[in-house]
Structure 1
Amino acid sequence: MNKIILIIPLMCISLMNIQAQNTTYISLEKLLQQVETNYPSILQYQQNIQSWQAKAEGAKAWMPPTFSTGLMRFPYKLSMINEKNDPMNQAGINLSIEQMIPNPSKLNAKKEYIISLLEVEKSKSEWTKNELAREAKILYYNRFVNEQKQNIITKSEDVLNLLLTTAEAKFSNNQSQLQTIYKGKARLSELKNMHYMLFGMIAESNIGLNILMVRDVNSTIEIDTLIEPRNYSFTLIDTNNISNRSDITAMSKYIQSMQLEQQVMKIGNKPDFGVRAEHMYMFGMHNQWSVMGMMTIPIVPWSSKMYSSESKSIGFQIQAMELEKQKMELMAKRMVSEKLTLLNFETRQYENYRNEIILAFENNLQANLLAYQQNTGDFFILLDAWEMLLMKKLEMNDKLFNILKLEAEYEFEKEIR
């Protein structure tokens, strides 16, 4: 029996050690690095960038040469083929090769256009990283605050158990009321539900973090136990560099890309060239050959209309994109200003909770506890003081989460990672 009693604690310790070994500590910086390294959206952009790079390498390639062969001027009266030096016998076998030579300015414009699309993908990739960073930060902060709430509830639970023990001892001496004791036990049971709710929210955040890091959803992780607000300056709202944000930069590069596409259309009215060489193996006369040069004539009205209309259409699209970019800049400035303003007032409320409100309610609880111990107070009032202190501590942590979330959103708008 003694051996069994000894083995059970050892097994529990072993299980705890195994769980601890499987638990990985993830700092916020490491989290963001893993998200940028592993998340499929980022990898997808990398593949798209490589795709455009590969396409740009072949942008100046020529069309392949065309080889053709066939019978030439064969008479229906095949017996004429055997007649030599007869002017009427012009039958032969034709061999020809043709190569189109594209206009160099067209090739250069095409390559510049493809490279511009590559740059658009790079900016879009950076903006996606920014979006994922915001999501990761909010999940990380949500888990941190909920764990802080768990600690607060656990400590409040210990205090309530102590108060109930004192009240039950006083009840035996007719110094406490039974209904208030039952109310205290009901509050104690409600704390269990709060624990369950917070466990669910922590698990939800944990799943989201694992998904962003492309890990198994059941993987256990540990996070920072101390996170403080960054205390951004609220005196001056700086929106001067908002045009450098990746999504706005992507729009600027997309406009540049459309301008290059427009240039491709304009250059389309320049001619291309070609050369054609032929050798004719004749049956009734000497062999012959020919070399011809070719040039396209895209300036004819029925051809040039296509290039001019396409160029005009792209011009209108560019103007629309310029207006879209202006709208994005205005919205970005608005969001930066709003987030920083809200952050300012949320920080003031949080500081008021931490420096004054919590201290006042702690003093209220201590005063009521002292009065109850001296038989001059009521357990109902003491229980209310305990509950109010708990609620205010939880509210303070809600304010902390609001601050951290607003910081994440402000950093998203300013693209601070």
Structure 2
Amino acid sequence: MFAQNTLSLDSIISIIKANNPELKVYQERMKSQDALVSGASAWMAPMLGIGTFMTPYNNFSRAGNQQDGSIMLVAEQKIANKSKIRANEAYLKAQSNITAQLNAESFNDLRALARSNYYDVLTIEKSINYLSKNLLVLQNLKKLSEIRYTYNKAGLAQIYSMQAKIYEIENQITSAKANLEIGKIKLNTLMNRDKYLDFQIDTALSFKTYIIQNNLNETVNNRSSIKLVNEQINSINLENKMIATEAKPEFSVQFNHMQTYNTVNPNQFSLMGSLSIPIAPWAAKSYQSKLKANQFEVAAMQFQKENVTNNLLGLIATQQKHLMHMQMELDTYKDKILPTMQKSYEVLLLNYQENKEELTTVLTAFKELNDSELVYLMKLNEYYQTLTEYERNVEQ
């Protein structure tokens, strides 16, 4: 995959999805959280103990058959409450859902960053093509002026002025090539590969128009940022169910075996069951305060969701209007302004070749055309950057 010379935007995004280490962090974290679920049904470990039972202090100073008391072996097991196990399991399962939405949000950010850098590289390459074409025109025009100079039909100052413009465009090309390399380094970094690995992008990419989202509420509700808040709220609700199980009693069984120190007294045992009473007022305060705190937290997150939704709806609506006007402006540049300026320049150049126009007038028209072409590319990049943010806000 890395050996190919030309990379489309979709292929770069696919490589990022497969190789970017930021996404791998979330993927491994989800595996970790899923692994915890299998342990949710575990019981408490059994307790074993050993000690003495009803043994006098001076017991071991007596003869063996006169010793009292016993050595006691203790085994205790808490019996797991099934409702607690189910609540804990559901809560643990919800954690990986939160991480999955964090992963989706992170991928959405990386995808937007990849698009932004890709469009930067695309417009830079287009500007290099524009500048290279204009450089060739200037060089040919300079040669023509030098020939005309030998016949006293062109001024030396005009030739020097033209040479200065050639240097200026060469400098612009050098700067653009440096920015092109920087853009490729950024893309290589996102793809997690050799930062200086060269590649070509698909410069034949057609002009991309934005897609109007008619049902903005549905679009926003499908966003990973909104789903993340929903999963966090669900997690807190499941945590509340888990906390509520603390009000349920817990059972435990204890078995004691007493082995007497002499052979006269019989061995003894005891079997005891115990039951916790968590609804006692002094014990209930703990889980009741947790439940109340989580209820406030859920309310806060509902307002957070409302705030995020409101901001996204406003932002998307604003970006749609902005993109519509930017597209109209680009169409005007492409269909009217640039063709008209190109024709004006060509007419002036023809008049100059026929000795009907001054070179300075031709150079002024050429500079205006060159500047307008670069302004068009700048506006095109602004459009693509706005489109990138728009797509980031409407995509999952």
- What's the TM-score bracket when you normalise by the shorter of the two chains? over 0.9
1:221 matched to 2:202: no
Instruction: Supply the distance in 2 between the matched residues of 1:302 and 1:278 (Cα, whole angstroms).
Output: 31
In structure 1, the residue matched to 2:65 is 83
Instruction: Report the TM-score when normalising by structure 1.
Output: 0.91
Instruction: Supply the distance in 2 between the matched residues of 1:234 and 1:363 (Cα, whole angstroms).
Output: 36
In structure 2, the residue matched to 1:3 is none
Asked if the contact 2:250–2:276 (Cα under 8 Å) also holds between the matched residues in 1, the reply is: yes
Alignment of 1:128-277 (within 5 A): 128-234=106-212, 236=214, 238-277=216-255
Alignment of 1:361-372 (within 5 A): 361-372=341-352
Mean CA deviation greater in 164-173 or 68-77? 68-77
> How far apart are 1:64 and its partner, in Å?
0.5
Instruction: Supply the distance in 2 between the matched residues of 1:102 and 1:296 (Cα, whole angstroms).
Output: 12
> How far apart are 1:203 and its partner, in Å?
1.1
Instruction: Supply the distance in 1 between the matched residues of 2:27 and 2:289 (Cα, whole angstroms).
Output: 35
Instruction: Supply the distance in 2 between the matched residues of 1:235 and 1:287 (Cα, whole angstroms).
Output: 83
SS in 2 for 1:32: helix
1:382 matched to 2:376: no
Instruction: Supply the distance in 2 between the matched residues of 1:243 and 1:278 (Cα, whole angstroms).
Output: 60
SS in 1 for 2:152: coil
> How far apart are 1:193 and its partner, in Å?
1.2
> How far apart are 1:61 and its partner, in Å?
0.7
Q: Measured at CA, do residues 199 and 165 of structure 1 come closer, stay the same or move farther in structure 2, by a change above 3 Å?
A: same
SS in 2 for 1:277: strand
Instruction: Supply the distance in 1 between the matched residues of 2:63 and 2:29 (Cα, whole angstroms).
Output: 61
1:326 matched to 2:323: no
1:43 matched to 2:24: yes
Letter in 2 for 1:224: D
Letter in 2 for 1:266: A
Deviation string 1:94-116 (CA, Å, 9 cap, x unpaired) is 11110011221111111111111
Of the candidates 368, 381, 386, which is equivalent to residue 406 of structure 1?
Answer: 386
Asked if the contact 1:211–1:217 (Cα under 8 Å) also holds between the matched residues in 2, the reply is: yes
Aligned-pair identity (%): 28
Structure 1 gaps of 5+ residues are 1-20
SS in 2 for 1:274: strand
In structure 2, the residue matched to 1:33 is 14
Instruction: Supply the distance in 2 between the matched residues of 1:81 and 1:393 (Cα, whole angstroms).
Output: 113
Instruction: Report the TM-score when normalising by structure 2.
Output: 0.95
Mean CA deviation greater in 301-310 or 261-270? 261-270
> How far apart are 1:310 and its partner, in Å?
0.9
> How far apart are 1:335 and its partner, in Å?
1.6
Q: Measured at CA, do residues 238 and 71 of structure 1 come closer, stay the same or move farther in structure 2, by a change above 3 Å?
A: closer
In structure 2, the residue matched to 1:397 is 377
Instruction: Supply the distance in 1 between the matched residues of 2:213 and 2:241 (Cα, whole angstroms).
Output: 46
Asked if the contact 1:239–1:333 (Cα under 8 Å) also holds between the matched residues in 2, the reply is: yes
1:290 matched to 2:245: no
Deviation string 1:117-168 (CA, Å, 9 cap, x unpaired) is 1111111111111000000011011001101110110010000011111111
> How far apart are 1:235 and its partner, in Å?
9.0
> How far apart are 1:234 and its partner, in Å?
5.0
Letter in 1 for 2:9: L
In structure 2, the residue matched to 1:13 is none
1:71 matched to 2:52: yes
Asked if the contact 2:37–2:92 (Cα under 8 Å) also holds between the matched residues in 1, the reply is: yes
SS in 2 for 1:336: helix
Letter in 2 for 1:108: R
Over aligned residues, Cα RMSD in angstroms? 1.6
Deviation string 1:262-317 (CA, Å, 9 cap, x unpaired) is 22222211111100111111124101111111111111111101111111011001
Structure 2 gaps of 5+ residues are none
SS in 2 for 1:60: coil
SS in 1 for 2:181: helix
Letter in 1 for 2:64: N
Mean CA deviation greater in 130-139 or 266-275? 266-275
Letter in 1 for 2:20: Y
> How far apart are 1:233 and its partner, in Å?
4.5
Of the candidates 343, 353, 356, which is equivalent to residue 373 of structure 1?
Answer: 353
> How far apart are 1:398 and its partner, in Å?
1.5
Mean CA deviation greater in 262-271 or 21-30? 21-30
Q: Measured at CA, do residues 81 and 307 of structure 1 come closer, stay the same or move farther in structure 2, by a change above 3 Å?
A: farther
SS in 1 for 2:226: helix
Instruction: Supply the distance in 1 between the matched residues of 2:339 and 2:200 (Cα, whole angstroms).
Output: 30
Deviation string 1:385-416 (CA, Å, 9 cap, x unpaired) is 11111111111111221222222111100116
SS in 2 for 1:365: helix
Asked if the contact 2:213–2:219 (Cα under 8 Å) also holds between the matched residues in 1, the reply is: no
In structure 1, the residue matched to 2:326 is 346
Asked if the contact 1:365–1:385 (Cα under 8 Å) also holds between the matched residues in 2, the reply is: yes
Asked if the contact 2:212–2:320 (Cα under 8 Å) also holds between the matched residues in 1, the reply is: yes
Q: Measured at CA, do residues 238 and 322 of structure 1 come closer, stay the same or move farther in structure 2, by a change above 3 Å?
A: closer
In structure 2, the residue matched to 1:359 is 339
